A and B are shown apart, each in its own frame.
Chain A
Amino acid sequence: MRLPPEGVLIIGFGNPLRGDDGAGPYAARKLRCRGFSALEAHQLTPELAEAVSRVELSVFIDSRADLAPGEVRAEPVQESGHPELEHHASPGSILRLARQVYGRVPQALIVTIGAESYDLGRPLSDCVLRAVETLVEEWVAPSRESFGNEQR
């Protein structure tokens, strides 16, 4: 099932110069081309809280070293108050900031993609590329419904 993209904000973060760390920004770019509101970021920064506070569902996409290469996992994000929030942040602290500053916090989930290589200057590895393309086609839209409903 494909849901309309209204009310959803995708934030793909990571460093595109560090191999599979660029999976999040790449996914965000692909999703933007498919009509979603999607932001690419090297890292999460406090000002994202404003954009997050204005939507119904935020989906953070990141790479992860402790998953099998190409494995995709989606988990709900809980608010957190990491005290060292400065010019970078975690998804949970972005949610906390959105609540404290704008009085509104959306449902949120984080989609992580297992990385094969973080080597400098490497493109996305084949398995991560496939995972992102699968995610774009089949995964994110249904997950909005399933995770979103669970959180309500």
Chain B
Amino acid sequence: MKRIVIDPVTRIEGHAKITIHLDDAGQVTSTQFHVTQVRGFEKFVEGRPFYEMPGITARICGICPISHLMASAKACDAIMAVRIPPAAAWLRELIHCGQFVQSHALSFFHLSAPDLLLGMDSDPARRNVLGLAAKHPELAQDGIALRKFGQRIIEAVAGERVHPSGIVPGGIGQPLDPEIREEILMGLAPARDIARKTLQLFKGTLDQFADEVAHFGAMETMYAGLVDAAGALHLYDGAIRFQDAGGAVVQTVAAERYADAIGEAALRDTYLKAPYFKPRGYPGGIYRVGPLARLNVADHLGTPAADAELAEYRQRFGRVVASSFHYHYARLIEIVYALERIRILLDTPGILDTHVRARASVNALEGIGVAEAPRGILIHHYKVDEQGAMKWANLVIATGHNNLAINRSVEQVSKRYVHGDKLEEGMLNRVSAVVRAYDPCLSCSTHASGLTPLRIELLDAGGRLLDEIAT
């Protein structure tokens, strides 16, 4: 028995490692994706006033704090038993769409494009955003511009680019300034051009990745995502729809009834929980969330350009797209969708209304908030005492839903590409790349991705070093 350890997996958010076991013939027998740090937010928020929760839980993540703010504020709305003013809901969704644009742009342009546009087997010293900038400076400019546009929306509407203070229990901190509305409208056209151009570029590269498409988590699982009453994608609200591998809707549950459908298993070798679809048990209830799953479960997206892209996507790959390689494609379509939603929201009569916050104290001792994070469904579930002090919290983080799927994908890719007792950087990069396809956000609060040098060792059954790669 031999063991390969990839530690850390690079170009993801947070820290993880991968262990690959090989038999004496050099064939992969098993793999394990480990998340190597614990955050503990569920425990240390106990005793805090519930209205602090959005501000506290936003600190879970430096990349997608908006998602935590949304889910947390919605859980607080439920504890206050208020229905927030319409303008507040629109502004929350507007900020949320800005978050999708910037987060998806980060994932595609900064983290995955080096693999996709420079090549899985290209020189690892240049397979990064600097190498991308050297070879495709216009693309790097586009990535920066798109991310900046999303961040500007967050900053302008919610107060700050990272960990904004403007998303509060009961609504939004302040109404939308008409000048900010005009500024965002002005930025939409160039952002849409970048999104369209990037989609065309990506679609043109797909034929090069036929083998990766066939082996990057190409497997039968269920899918889960939020849909509105008409079955359309909704990022901020809606019910959780579970779909089987064949495309049939298995169950749709109101977001606050998530526990009826979702169980959580603890695994031995990782701190990341492993949610599963309860009626099918563990591990048979494996499902995927995030862009790929959202595009599978939604009947349609509800905006014209994104729906046209969805139609082409489904024409090429079928009604249910099974390969996790296509998370990239789905992510780009979602950028188009988010930009269209931003336009729709800004054109909504009443978006400038000044009544943007409902005020109340504790009216319920339990609250659940659910929203789509860029990486998938995010659930915040709180219990408080009569004074509003937190007694208990359960956070089901988007990446967690994909834990079982990431593990299976790592195994599939390893069995396809890792052989023998000679390591090749490109084959191990593919093992990391399939993890990147999910854009996992493992422990964003550490902000340390990429600082640790990549070191991969190949050991024989006696622990003898057979080969080693360090960057």
A residues touching B (Cβ–Cβ < 8 Å)? 17, 41-43, 46-47, 49-50, 81-88, 93, 96-97, 100-103
Within 8 A of A (CB), among B415-471: 447, 449-451, 471
B130 lies within 8 A of A93 (CB): yes
Residues of chain B with a CB closer than 8 A to A87's CB: 13, 62-63, 106, 110-111, 449
Q: Tell yes or no: B66 within 8 A of A by CB.
A: no
Residues of chain A with a CB closer than 8 A to B133's CB: 97, 100-101
Residues of chain A with a CB closer than 8 A to B126's CB: 83
Residue from B128, B130, B144, B162 in contact with A47 in the complex, judged by beta carbons closer than 8 Å: B144
A86 lies within 8 A of B130 (CB): no
A100 lies within 8 A of B130 (CB): yes
Total number of A-B contacts with CB less than 8 angstroms?
A: 76
A112 smallest CB distance to B (angstroms):
18
Closest 5 CB pairs of A and B: A84-B450, A100-B133, A47-B144, A101-B140, A86-B450
- Binary contact track B292-314/A, C-beta < 8 Å → 1, others 0: 00000000000000000000000
Q: Tell yes or no: B148 within 8 A of A by CB.
A: yes
Residue from B63, B111, B140, B451 in contact with A100 in the complex, judged by beta carbons closer than 8 Å: B140
Residue from B11, B13, B129, B449 in contact with A97 in the complex, judged by beta carbons closer than 8 Å: B129
Given contact pairs A85-B129, A86-B128, A87-B63, a sample of 7 additional A-B residue pairs in the complex whose CB atoms are under 8 Å apart: A50-B144, A83-B128, A84-B449, A84-B451, A85-B128, A85-B130, A97-B129
Main secondary structure of the interface of A (DSSP, over half): loop
Q: Tell yes or no: B331 within 8 A of A by CB.
A: no
Q: Tell yes or no: B25 within 8 A of A by CB.
A: no
Residues of chain A with a CB closer than 8 A to B130's CB: 81-83, 85, 93, 96-97, 100
B148 smallest CB distance to A (angstroms):
5
B152 smallest CB distance to A (angstroms):
10
Q: How far is the CA of A17 from the CA of B58 in the complex (A)?
A: 13
Contact sample, A vs B, 19 pairs, CB 8 Å cutoff: A42-B62, A42-B447, A43-B447, A46-B110, A46-B129, A47-B147, A50-B141, A83-B130, A86-B11, A87-B62, A87-B110, A87-B449, A88-B449, A96-B130, A97-B129, A101-B133, A101-B137, A101-B141, A101-B144
